[in-house]
Chains A and B, each alone.
Chain A
């Protein structure tokens, strides 16, 4: 830590008053004992049972680390506390571990098991932080564990944990780069993730681990473009810079036609570019001028990227703005690049560091695209309070922007700068004037005159710099400037700066024929002062002498010989060498001297004028905004920005078949699609509006949706619903994926729906439950048949029970929208609107047993069906809700009983087992205010008055999970304490078995094809060869009922989701021995996918 010395200066700063200073305490006994004694009290504190003491100890240790003191000898004592329940202690232990684990690898291993336990914790925050610390401990032995943990976390339910997994990838890679291949697999998987939270982190991992695997991006390109706007700022930066590189490899250059034209008539082009509006026109003329080339058509994906990044120029984050700016600079057609100028100029207001980086980039851009920044010329004017670096960069930009029209203003501004107190800046200004003079011929004389005036400046530095610049300028057209050379010659008496003197001498020598009278005189003066001159000046004196000797030997012969003999005995060998060399060349010796004949050619050859150009000239081959660009040198880890391809690679690689891009995200945030606009503005009644909006926010507030009963007539609503989805009215036009008509209809339909249903749509998309394809059209007849079939079979069910599924199947055509479903039930069956607990419901499971018995004689062909049906498997075994220790003696487990919950058929019934292992009775056990995600509701269990020590009790509660596997979080309250607990249902518990015949099954399956069908291949292990085991395993995983089947190696199961009532059909085809195929048909695709995963896992284990 670089802060170490600073910290050690003020020891005890954070220790507070009255605390002993460890290691400096005289009581700890001299040099020898201090080492092992000094942390004894800390160790003691860490070994106690009291959290507060541990916390205090950890705080002191962290403060020690912060002060740069070595606390590594406390490692064993600290590591013990990694399992501490107090979360703050835990955090500080993590801080400590990350700092010292690499030094004490063996001891660090002690903590690993705690992290492994943490990875399985129901609390996502704990899972995430366990993974974070595990991956930050740089101990090579645990690489396999880390790999496993990352893989597991990559498929975690919580996006936050998946994000952490993405962060862990580069950490593991830097620890062991051999894991690359496996890590790429994880990256590939995470790239397919659709949450904004993950997107930025996984792209960062991609850039660190496998930036060359551009092929991984293809399938996710459009998704990333569309998500971009909602990703958090840091993620946006990484994604944009990656997409810039991607686009460079995949699309054709939008400027390929222009660049040819530019070479021919650069000036003219700039002229037209000045006007932004004309830009498009110039592009056209460019295309017209080159009829031979095939016209450039921008790839729609290229366009998509440009369009989706543009709003981000308005971001508050300078990093994002800069990223978009470089993307436009590298990728956009010339006519469109202009939009970034304004945003970049805005960034000049921020911190000076940001200003510095932005100005560097502007300097590079302004060389290529001068027109872009011209309107903002005045924003680059320099203030006396700017730091020198900033001043010089601004000067650079001003010089780049100067042209025929604005040069007078720029020069006037420069004149002010020359009077500045900052001499470095003044020197830079003089050079800038020189550059302006070379670039703009019209002002060359003016500049030269101005510079000559500067020669009489009192500051030597200014004069010297001017001489150097004048020398360069004169070299371009020496003939007309005899006067200036004369003036310069006079200055040799005054100017003392060696570089300037040398420059003057060189000028006089070079153009001695323009000043034939003065030149020998200057040489005479210089010969006089030769010994006192600086080396660089001496060399030029020799040069001057040689040149004069060649042109005007009559006057200068003696002088030259004098100078050369002086030089011969100079202390500097360079000068001695030069003198010897020159003498041999110009003074012909006896032995021929073939060279001396060419001496004139050697010394007085016409020399090319130097080109004054910007140091930013070729910097744009580095990706703008990168560190390499800033340094103008390749930094490690820099990814080369590739050149445009000659031929565009196949664009179809980006096509994604069943991807449902428009449904991915709800854009509520900044720059997002604002779908509500038309609705809100039209709505005049404030009250009504308020009521309508409320459910929208219940999303994040955690209000339960179904309780909001709207006053609209369900008939008319469902009518408009189905109409809009079939007619595809106007509405929003944001659907990006044009190839998917279904989605477009969906989107548009939603746009014109009433607020209530729109809210549902939002909530649905948030949970990413995709819509069933073709469901809207077929649902009517489908529901008819299904209702009739259920009537014929479930004979023992009550009237109401039969009515319900039929009615809501009919009323909600497109899919099982949960909220309207419940609402409509309550409106239809008015007497049932009273609290659901009163509702008398006969549990279908009991029905089913008797029903199965009935069916046995009729349809059963499979003998093994009966036992599996008759013994309802209670789902997953007991799971811990609250550990004994965390609950202070109260241990709580839960099981999914698979009994229908007697209050509400849409609820999953959960048996909760309490046991009191403390020695005091626990009183008043009840559920406290639940904080639930939208749609999820809880039917609490009746309060348990008292639980004596050692006793246990069971209660049943119902949870409506709304057909999602989101966890239900609630509080368990006792009289004294509150515990936050959460129940996350396995997907298999979200459904209830349905019984149907083989024919019905096939009929229903036929309706759920296409997107609603998920098929996966698997290898059945040997243990799964018997029917019984297979059936048991499937039913243990999912609460499904077996459907009879004619063929022996095929298993069919059917169920309905509890809340939505959507059918879930599962087929397992095991005909070829060993290899099997699992098919799930359900309109709830997410449920289907997860079910497939779970069942495969159950079967193959």
Chain B
């Protein structure tokens, strides 16, 4: 099975090694677990900032200690990163210094209170001087656009990622202007499902730090606004060893927002030997071995649409490739949730202070493909 996760091989070996102990049990559980292991290891504020091979090598002991807590005889034990952090404190420079002086350790000697409580995802005794709660509404458009530019399928997948740094045991409620938009949702365990069912309000005691509060799906039945279009003209001629290549990217239905971070990638047919292209903006590369063309466009200026034009040199003598490459598109639009989802308000109960609240919207391309 091909693996697309961008993790170093070594971690994968570890991860596949442990779950394999179960003789026959639910397969998804195993994969799910192997995917969940890196989460506490590499997410921000957790153990290591990034989960790269040298980092793992330097902290092999911590990895061992953490895995030791996460698994017992191949069965997952504690996977909440809040609990793990109480058991094994993440290594920081400050802590290393303190430890060498005082002789204390990174390993907690008390069972984290969360393990036994009804709110296992939250540590007790959280304290912050600045109380903040940030929510990012991030939507991804998955789409397949056909040759003529019409949409074959388009879906919006959204998530609300939160970064909550609040003292004590706050109880938050988040309400939407248009909750009916959400077709299919899945929650972090902290969200009270009954309340969502009856009132369409998210009510929860948040975990400490970063977590994914909710992921949702806006169904394909609702018409999805596609914010970009791609004009393409890719042709191979039978006799000649030259092909023409031309792509133009332009905005459409962006609600007045700029499209940023545009990247175009395309897997060219094997017959293409090299490409001789000139972009109107940005940089492009073509790897003659993997036949991968990528064009880093940047921002789209509606007055001057970015384009990439040029020729392809084909294998001499070979017949023209009968397939046309598909174009994959990446882009970002700040301050816009393409589905139109809007957060109405965020209230906090249970604590006396006034938190700082922030909500950010973003639309991104998910699996956005244009067939040519």
Contacts and interface: CB of A to CB of B under 8 A. Distances in A.
A277 B25 CA distance: 35
B168 to A, nearest CB: 7
A702 B124 contact: yes
Given A352-B3, A387-B2, A62 B118 contact: no
Interface of B: 1-5, 9-10, 13-14, 17, 22-29, 31-35, 54, 57-61, 64-65, 68, 72-73, 75-77, 79, 100, 103, 105-111, 113, 115-120, 122, 124-125, 142, 144, 146, 152-153, 155, 157, 168-169, 171, 183-195, 198-199, 203, 205, 212, 215, 217, 220, 267, 269-270, 319, 322-324, 326, 328, 349-350, 352, 367, 369, 371
Interface string A315-327: 1111101110000
A316 B25 contact: no
A343 B72 CA distance: 30
A680 B5 CA distance: 44
Given A626-B27, A669-B190, 19 more contacts: A3-B10, A6-B10, A62-B61, A91-B65, A91-B107, A92-B65, A123-B111, A197-B116, A234-B79, A316-B212, A319-B31, A346-B186, A349-B157, A357-B28, A381-B144, A384-B267, A385-B328, A625-B27, A980-B109
Nearest to B57: A13
A125 interface: yes
Contact of B194 (A164, A673, A980): A673
B57 A10 contact: yes
8 contacts: A91-B65, A316-B188, A319-B31, A353-B34, A387-B1, A421-B270, A638-B24, A693-B171
Interface stretch (A629-637, A796-804, A918-926): A629-637
Interface centre among B61, B107, B269 (most CB of A within 10 A): B61
Contacts of A201: 75
Interface string A676-702: 010001000000011001101101111
A318 B17 CA distance: 20
Nearest to A665: B118
A457 to B, nearest CB: 7
Contacts of A980: 109-110
A170 to B, nearest CB: 6
Interface string A102-141: 0000000000000000000001111010001001100000
Given A87-B105, A171-B73, A635-B24, A343 B68 contact: no
B73 A234 contact: no
A834 B205 CA distance: 35
B27 A630 contact: yes
B52 to A, nearest CB: 12
Place the interface of chain A in its size category: 35 or more
A311 interface: yes
Contact of B169 (A66, A378, A670, A700): A700
A154 to B, nearest CB: 16
Interface of A: 1-3, 6, 10, 13-14, 16, 51-52, 55, 59, 62-63, 66, 86-88, 91-92, 94-95, 123-126, 128, 132, 135-136, 158-160, 164, 167, 170-171, 197, 201, 204, 207, 230, 232-234, 237-238, 241, 311, 314-319, 321-323, 342-343, 345-346, 349-354, 356-358, 378-379, 381, 383-385, 387-389, 413, 416, 419-421, 457-459, 625-630, 635-639, 666, 668-674, 677, 681, 689-690, 693-694, 696-697, 699-702, 766, 931, 969, 980
A314 B215 CA distance: 10
A383 B267 CA distance: 13
A701 B351 CA distance: 12
B13 A3 contact: yes
Given A2-B17, A164-B72, A670-B193, A316 B120 contact: no
B24 A637 contact: yes
Contact of B188 (A132, A232, A670): A670
A3 B58 CA distance: 16
Pick the 10 closest A-B CB pairs, nearest first: A637-B23, A671-B193, A88-B105, A670-B189, A674-B194, A378-B153, A319-B29, A635-B24, A234-B76, A319-B32
A156 B61 CA distance: 31
A193 to B, nearest CB: 13
B1 A353 contact: yes
B63 to A, nearest CB: 8
A419 B323 contact: yes
A237 B111 contact: no
A91 B62 CA distance: 11
B185 A314 contact: yes
Nearest to B213: A316
A167 B29 contact: no
Given A2-B13, A672-B192, A458 B3 contact: no
